[in-house]
A and B are shown apart, each in its own frame.
Chain A
Amino acid sequence: MSENTAAPVKPKGKKRLELDPRLAAYKGIWVFVEMERGQVHQVSWELLGEGRKLADILNVELGAVILGGSSDELSAAARSAFTYGADVAYIVADPILTDYRNEPYTKAMTDLVNRYQPEILLLGATTLGRDLAGSVATTLLTGLTADCTELAIDPDNRGLLATRPTFGGSLLCTIQTLNYRPQMATIRPRVMAMPDAVPERSGRVISENLQMQEDDIIAKVLEFIPDEAQEQAQLAYADIIVAGGRGMGKTENFRLIWDLAAVLGAEVGGSRPVTHAGWLPADRQIGQSGKTVRPKLYIAAGISGAIQHRVGMEASDVIIAINNDPNAPIFDFATYGIVGDAVQILPVLTDALRSRLAVNRRAG
């Protein structure tokens, strides 16, 4: 909803603004550690890994903000946060925070920010993270950049350079929050690499109370229906993905994608035109307006590789692209390229794979 994409680019000289001394006092990088029903979302560890790098550049502490209902779960999460790079854990434990609700979480987070004043606050761009980030930024009246694909520090002014796709993923833009603190950004799951845990790392814990009573909160959670009961694609964390694009020609040809995925034990995804045309459900869309993935193997069949799609999958370890247009942009960043008709090659590939697996199974 940002109108920012239409904003004139400010002249370069302007960004060397002297920061208001009140704002210059904001120090440190914080990552919101997202817990839902006792489980930490992996994106939080990915952000601690990235936050560690930024904290080292700025020579400041990395804080992990952990909110929830059970002190035991929060302490366990804090210990993990230290192993992924946090120096300090800011904990608010209160039964009110057991289920995510916007009001008490916004209150807990804004109180912590006002008290301890971090210069940068990062959250995962999950449904929970976006709900919270938008509320916190508006309450604090500061800048928030959504769905960043790259974070860096401006050597001129220590400011955060938050890069994200714009114009529907046709271009990238770098956004800065000038005379406001903290500088906030959300980052999608899988955009940043999972850091290695350092088991012997430890840190300080700072506990605060939630300044709220249950009676103050209007919203009540009546029920939680977990996803196991439903069919939700688990694309973001899949190891192997077979994805189809407009080049598959028609919806019937997606059977070939599903067939190959079944033999590989892979998840199925697609580009935006494909989900818009209804060839795949919307939750299988990969790209800027869909999911970000980084599997070990990504097979792109009939996908041209527009930036909108590219930003969602280019971190894959191995990308095999099949496209009949030799000039398709996907060949600029795939690991292996096959110029040919995916509709012809896929079934043959599925058969060849199936027979090799059968031979190996007999041999094994």
Chain B
Amino acid sequence: MHIVVCIKQVPDSAQIRVHPVTNTIMRQGVPAIINPFDVFAIEEALRLKDRLGGRVTVLTMGPPQAEDALRKAIAYGADDVILLTDRAFAGADTLATSFALAQTIRKIGEEHPVDLVFTGKQTIDGDTAQVGPGIAKRLGLQLLTYVSAIDALDLEERSITVQRRSEGGVQVIRTCLPALITMLEGSNQIRFAGMDDMFRSARLTVPQWNKDRAGIEDVSKIGLKGSPTVVSKIFTPKPRAVKAQRIGADLDASGTANAILDVLSSQHPRLAQELGLITH
């Protein structure tokens, strides 16, 4: 069995700040991490390998420094990694990204046919959840999004049964390989890196593939050119004209609490009535 896991290196968005004067992103010193949602995909792939054998290849598209994310993946126990990196990919939106990744997976599959592709449910920087479905459609893979558990995987039958989150419940669905799974957060817990894998990771030269190595000839489908969407404006939200009305500036906790309830009762009578604060 051959599993490919697609991950992305992202800035730890919890630590991103906007410059108060220039309104630009302050990237300096913001650490780069493996997209936290992708970590669940890596672990699930490794668990399947532990159970059923096979190999796990971790793939990322990004700038040369994204090799740190792949080194980490090796430390967790991935067998192979590939860094898809080329200036021609710059400015790609989700459609162009899914094209480049799908082509690369196709190329990987020429050597070792791919049975399963994993991604996280979305990234924390783009938040789109669009690349996984995009890869599946381009490669004709069965698409299983928001998967919380893999109930059964039969390599003889080439069938897979999963639980996936849907609106209002959990869908238990069975389909065939090859399939693409986007993994839901919290569905497993990443293992500790083993000593051997950490050594392997430290010694590794991360293989870099450019567009030619990935078999991409048509540059009109990648990067900015292959992206139907363009960002036309980036801005900070307008501050509201009216700021919050201050309550309880000179009061103690109890006075403040009562002032809050008084304001609700007098200024928002309908809400106060629903709350039971006032009777009529």
The stretch of A50-58, A76-84, A175-183 that contacts the partner chain: A175-183
CB-nearest residue of chain B to A139: B137
Chain A residues positioned under 8 Å from B146 (CB to CB):
127, 131
1/0 contact string of B142-167 vs chain A (CB within 8 Å): 11011000000000000001010111
Known pairs A10-B230, A166-B234, A178-B230; A128 contacts B14 (CB<8 A): no
Known pairs A127-B165, A175-B229, A220-B173; A137 contacts B13 (CB<8 A): no
Q: Among the listed A102, A177, A179, A340, which residue makes an inter-chain contact with B253, where contact means beta carbons less than 8 Å apart?
A: A340
Q: Among the listed B93, B133, B246, which residue makes an inter-chain contact with A337, where contact means beta carbons less than 8 Å apart?
A: B246
CB pair B126 A3 closer than 8 Å: yes
Given A319-B244, A339-B249, 15 other A-B residues pairs in contact with their CB atoms under 8 A: A2-B97, A7-B227, A134-B130, A144-B128, A168-B11, A168-B125, A170-B18, A171-B23, A174-B232, A297-B275, A338-B248, A348-B257, A349-B256, A352-B254, A361-B276
A116 CB–B CB distance under 8 Å: no
CB pair A141 B245 closer than 8 Å: no
B258 CB–A CB distance under 8 Å: yes
B47 CB–A CB distance under 8 Å: no
8 closest residue pairs by CB, A with B: A168-B13, A134-B133, A337-B244, A143-B228, A2-B126, A1-B131, A146-B128, A143-B229
CB-nearest residue of chain B to A176: B232
Chain A residues positioned under 8 Å from B163 (CB to CB):
225
CB pair A143 B93 closer than 8 Å: yes
1/0 contact string of B170-184 vs chain A (CB within 8 Å): 111111100000000
CB pair A226 B16 closer than 8 Å: no
CB pair B129 A356 closer than 8 Å: no
Known pairs A4-B126, A135-B133; A296 contacts B145 (CB<8 A): no
Q: How far is the CB of B104 from chain A (nearest CB, A)?
A: 15
Q: Among the listed A2, A34, A133, which residue makes an inter-chain contact with B167, where contact means beta carbons less than 8 Å apart?
A: A34
B92 CB–A CB distance under 8 Å: yes
CB pair B257 A349 closer than 8 Å: yes
A276 CB–B CB distance under 8 Å: yes
Q: List residues of B whose CB falls within 8 A of some A CB.
A: 8, 11, 13-14, 16-18, 23, 25, 89-98, 119, 122-134, 136-138, 142-143, 145-146, 161, 163, 165-176, 185-186, 224, 227-237, 239-240, 243-249, 253-254, 256-258, 260-261, 263-264, 268, 271, 274-279
CB pair A345 B253 closer than 8 Å: yes
Q: List residues of A whose CB falls within 8 A of some B CB.
A: 1-10, 12, 15, 34, 36-37, 39, 41, 99-103, 106, 126-128, 130-131, 133-135, 137-139, 141-147, 161, 165-180, 218-227, 230, 239-240, 264, 272-273, 276, 282, 288-289, 296-297, 307-308, 310-311, 317-321, 330-340, 344-345, 348-349, 351-353, 356-357, 360-361, 363-364
Q: How far is the CB of B137 from chain A (nearest CB, A)?
A: 4
Q: How far is the CA of A356 from the CA of B258 in the complex (A)?
A: 10
Q: Among the listed A106, A171, A224, which residue makes an inter-chain contact with B171, where contact means beta carbons less than 8 Å apart?
A: A224
Q: How far is the CB of A256 from chain B (nearest CB, A)?
A: 12
Q: How far is the CB of B88 from chain A (nearest CB, A)?
A: 13
Chain A residues positioned under 8 Å from B23 (CB to CB):
171
CB pair A172 B237 closer than 8 Å: yes
Q: How far is the CB of A168 from chain B (nearest CB, A)?
A: 3
Q: How far is the CA of A315 from the CA of B126 in the complex (A)?
A: 23
Chain A residues positioned under 8 Å from B276 (CB to CB):
357, 360-361
Known pairs A4-B93, A176-B230, A356-B277; A289 contacts B127 (CB<8 A): yes
CB pair B227 A336 closer than 8 Å: no
CB-nearest residue of chain B to A296: B271
CB pair A282 B185 closer than 8 Å: yes
CB pair B14 A171 closer than 8 Å: no
CB pair A227 B126 closer than 8 Å: no
Q: How far is the CB of B23 from chain A (nearest CB, A)?
A: 7
CB pair A1 B246 closer than 8 Å: no
CB pair A177 B166 closer than 8 Å: no
Q: How far is the CA of A138 from the CA of B145 in the complex (A)?
A: 15
CB pair A147 B93 closer than 8 Å: no
User: Could you jot down 19 A-B contacts, CB within 8 Å?
Assistant: A1-B130, A3-B92, A7-B91, A101-B173, A103-B142, A131-B133, A135-B133, A135-B134, A144-B128, A145-B229, A166-B231, A167-B18, A171-B23, A171-B236, A175-B229, A224-B166, A289-B127, A318-B271, A349-B261
Chain A residues positioned under 8 Å from B235 (CB to CB):
171-174
Q: Among the listed B98, B161, B176, B261, which residue makes an inter-chain contact with A356, where contact means beta carbons less than 8 Å apart?
A: B261
Chain B residues positioned under 8 Å from A9 (CB to CB):
231-234
Q: How far is the CB of A180 from chain B (nearest CB, A)?
A: 4
CB pair A168 B279 closer than 8 Å: no
Q: How far is the CA of A241 from the CA of B3 in the complex (A)?
A: 43
CB-nearest residue of chain A to B91: A7
Q: How far is the CB of B160 from chain A (nearest CB, A)?
A: 10
Q: Among the listed B130, B185, B224, B248, which residue makes an inter-chain contact with A146, where contact means beta carbons less than 8 Å apart?
A: B130
CB-nearest residue of chain B to A358: B276
Chain B residues positioned under 8 Å from A282 (CB to CB):
185-186
Q: How far is the CA of A282 from the CA of B36 in the complex (A)?
A: 13
CB pair A222 B127 closer than 8 Å: no
